[in-house]
Amino acid sequence: MGSRNTISIASSSLLILSLALAPCAPAQGTPTIHDAQAFMANAEAELQKLYVMGQRAEWVAETYITGDTEILTAAANEQLIKRTTELVNEGKRFETLDLPPDLKRKFLLMKLSLTLPAPSDARLREELTQVASSLNADYGKGKYCPGGESEKCFGIDDLEEQMAKVRDPGQLAAIWEGWHKVGAPMRERYARFAELSNQGARELGFADTGALWRSNYDMTPEQFSADLERLWKQVEPLYIELHAYVRRKLIEEYGAAAERKDGMIPADLLGNMWAQEWGNIYDLVAPPSAPTTYDLGEILQSRHKNAKEIVQYGENFFRSLGYAPLPETFWERSQFTRPADRDVVCHASAWDIDTNEDVRLKVCLHGTSDDFITAHHELGHIYYFRAYENLPFLFKNGANDGFHEAIGDAIALSITPEYLTKIGFLDHAPPAEADLPLLLRQALDKIAFLPFGLLIDKWRWEVFSGQVKPADYNKAWWELREKYQGVAPPVNRTESDFDPGAKYHIPANTPYARYFLARVYQFQFYRAMCRAAGYTGPLNRCSFYESKAAGDKLQAMLALGQSKPWPEALQVMTGEDRADASAIIEYFQPLIDWLKQQNRGQKTGWTVSADPLKAG
């Protein structure tokens, strides 16, 4: 999840087929506000056409990975970047005008719309888009073949399932090492990618690509970086307690394979390829005297729920809040499982193909508990698309990208025992004393993810700024993973490896701070909707399923799209105008108290190692 999921939206790397569209002709003489309005109307119409054709091309590129679709993707992307850059430059002649707020915001959003800025030089721009396309395709085609190429090979979705279930440390290390080989061939191309992207960002007036990304949050890049650290400090004490408890339990299970003198945890033992979420090892760390609870994955499998039916449960949740059913084309055109006859990008994503009715999911579901949550998460994107579909094109986006990721997760927090009882998955809700294991299970995903969600872009920002040189890519990666996560590689690494490339969002050039923010926002949104529904009990037991009042509260924020600065959208939803992790602490307070009790007399925290590339 979270980071398991991404979203294809207008600010992403958009793709077009070969479209010849005439540039907006510059007006003669001194520009006026009327000229600026006419320019923007033409620019939005043009960008929307490019976007729609681009989404169709990108859909094919990710659901039919071939050499041809890779080449077409690169050429198409190059054309879109070229035209967007031209429009930004043409729009600079209006910068001295005192523009109406909405129009001024559109000019800013257009400038910030490319996550892949490219040089104006046609040769370099073409090179960048080809490199970007090849990196994404390499990830999508990535396989691990335990017995060699002639034997059965596994894609990342199969490997993730194995990481979740295997309990032999030697086998886990082999799977981890096998998948991470996918990154090594990307290393040199990624360095060139960063160099060319930075050149494009500087031409747009930014210090580097990272500074451009951080400018997309209605504050300066420096303010944004500081705000992320502020939020991390709110939740870091909870993470440290969780880390200490899980570390002790893993040592009890695996012995020397899990124990390190520095107190860090080997990254392959946490049930996830990137150690970003730990819920899959719940069976190893569950409280021994806890009441028996339920396994959602077992429920789905015992009832033989297929992928489409799992998605329909998510749709029914939104319909219970008063939202309209999804169009038939959604069910006809979405990809719910991995096709048997071709390579596809299985990373879950939601698609707004035509900014109107053609919305789709691209997922590869297996019927696990994570899949049930993924379905609710991805439909959060879909219903966000639909809420702002009537806004002007440049406002058709989330208040910021973290909002887009948080909506579905806020809904998924309502997948409580009470909700599962209402939909017939449980005969009755477990008693209140069963809350603790459920909270621990949630924390293994929600809280364990937070430092990972923070460090991905910290690494990239340091790469883009030049603070980290290509010769130190892997060292810098593991330094951050040690500092924030307290995890270490299970096998020795070198600078010939490129472990960042084994995480989808790096080769796909998808900004990642959105997922960290989403973990914070979702609890704020969830608390606000629980209050709107009239709920007054312990926060972790709230489900606003069937609450039209909660649905109205959510819709009021979604309908704003990106037309207002995100603090204003947040205030519409929550009454608060800044991100705040206090809802996380409120939600997990019973677990916090319990973890402190469990860790009494135990050492918490870890020591950063002298050589982060060493396994032990």
Q: Is the dihedral of CA 3, 365, 411, 523 positive or negative?
A: negative
Number of residues assigned to the chain: 616
Structure tokens at 135: 């990196």
Compute the distance between CA of residue 275 and CA of residue 298 in angstroms, rounded to an integer. 23
Q: Is 324 left (phi over 0), alpha (psi -120 to 50) or beta?
A: beta
HSE toward the beta carbon, residue 29, CA cutoff 13 A: 4
Pick from 517, 379, 522: nearest CA to 456: 517
Give the closest residue to 271 by CA, choosing from 290, 249, 238, 299: 249
Nearest to 558 by CA among 544, 572, 577: 572
Taking residue 196's Cβ as centre, other Cβ atoms within 10 Å add up to 23
Q: Does residue 317 contact residue 375 with C-beta atoms inside 8 Å? A: no
Q: Which of 6, 3, 589, 2 is nearest to 348 (CA)?
A: 6
Which of helix, strand or coil describes residue 360? strand
Task: Retrieve residue 514's tokens.
Answer: 């959105």
Tell me the backbone φ, ψ of residue 116, rounded to 5 degrees. Answer: -120, 80
In the chain the first and final C-alpha atoms are separated, in Å, by 29
Alpha carbon separation from 109 to 57, 235, 329, 402, 460 (Å, rounded): 23, 31, 30, 16, 22
Catalytic annotation, residues:
347-348, 377-378, 381, 405, 505, 515
Q: Order of strands across the sheet with 359-362? A: 6-8, 349-352, 359-362
Contact partners, residue 141, CB within 8 Å, separation at least 6: 65, 343
Q: Quote the CA–CA distance of 516 and 275 in Å, as a whole number.
A: 15
Q: Are 359 and 300 in contact (CB under 8 A)?
A: no
DSSP string, 278-307: -GGGHHHHS-TTPPP---HHHHHHHTT--H
Q: Give the integer Cα–Cα distance in Å for 50 and 14.
A: 8
Q: Is the dihedral of CA 245, 247, 248, 249 positive or negative?
A: positive
* CA dist., res. 116 & res. 74, Å (int): 12
Cβ count near 162 (within 10 Å): 16
Residue 487 parent element (H or E): strand 487-488
Integer Cα distance of 537 and 544 in angstroms: 12
User: Could you give the maximum distance between any two Cα atoms of the chain, in Å?
Assistant: 79
Tokens matching residue 544: 């606003």
Whether 444 and 467 have beta carbons less than 8 Å apart is answered as no
* Residue carrying the six token digits 């523009």: 99
Single-letter amino acid, residue 322: G
Neighbours of 100 (CB within 10 A): 12
| Strands 359-362, 349-352: pairing kind | antiparallel
